Structure 1
Amino acid sequence: MKHKRSALSQGVVRCGECGLLANIIQPEHYCERCGAKLYARIPYSLQRTTALLLSSYALYFPANMFPIMTVTQLGVTQKHTILGGILSLVEKDMVPIAILVFIASIIVPLLKLIGITLLLVHVKLRWRRHAHLWAVLYRLIVLVGRWSMLDIFMISILIAVVDFGGVSEVIAGPAATAFAAVVVLTMLAAKSFDPRLLWDDGHL
């Protein structure tokens, strides 16, 4: 397969604001159409993505270990983690909802974290093979990120449906805040990652 030259190798960059192709060799690297600063790659993309990713990892475990909700029924208080709430749904014969909550609240966030980690490792170690597959992985992460708020919605369902009958009160626990933070941070991490780095020949 014939190697295709990149726009950057020919001194051309695309304006991130208006999409105009501009010659980066010009003295002042500003877009002639909109005046935005021109960058060959998003500045500090790897550093920002790494920082956001590490923050997500740090909050992912408290989100799953600490109580996501506190249920008070007839004066008896019980605290439930995400997994505990899922098990409660199974015990109440709400298996389909339990599966949805498990996938949206545990599996999907974890897969996003692992996926972004692999992208960073790919760029850092300068793996030049199968770049198109890594680009597909990035697009999948971004696509899933558009539906990331569904994770929080599923937690809301979990809090709402775990009702043991009778008079009860359900209060969101500290893990709810950590979980929401993980969702937002992973979205920001994917957005800050510059996918063009996947195609660069050892250029970081």
Structure 2
Amino acid sequence: MEKGVKLFKTWSSPFGIRIVWALKVKGVQFEQIDEDLANKSPLLLLYNPVHKKIPVLVHDGKPVVESLVILEYIEETWKQNPLFPEDPLERAAARFWAKFGDDKVMPSIWEAFIKGREEEECAFAPAFENLKFLEEELKGKQFFGGERIGIVDIAFGWLANLVPVFEEIHAIKVIDEERFPSLYAWMQEFSRAPLIADCWPPHEKLVNKFRAIRDQSLLAAAPHA
């Protein structure tokens, strides 16, 4: 194990698993520490006193927080197996798409997921609009960066992880071969990559967790007498 590399995460967090993927692509050995966010450890609070959240990467005793920031730190610290393209314009584009995923795509899918059945059709409209942009970006490519997994694939990896979970709970197809052929093909290709597939959280455990979260959200939103 490389000296002094630790990752604080949770078993189910899409933000934590993207750091796991990045470190594995780079070939960096590290210690994984799964946090219970209902009972946060003193070390997590010490290393991230501002947000008190995961993931936190600790390298030689110094913390780096926020997943997209951590990904850039990993790229700059370990030069092997680059995640970012070399061209400055392409690097800027990669940063844009990664941020678009966290700022737009993820919130729109989550907002649709926690809605009730009667609101379902309208709720998914913003998510579908955002996914159309990704479909266009992927046309003619195996991965977002071309022929190998890069930073944008890792940033969007949660789609291949959580969208099937949400589809099972909601009994609705969000990303299918007819509506989003390029995105659908990317999800299959990304999921099968050995370094990625070895890190997936248990599907049924995720379904149970997110079904409970959705049920709680619907209960909280329901009118009370």
> What TM-score do the two structures reach when normalised by structure 1?
0.35
Larger Rg: 1
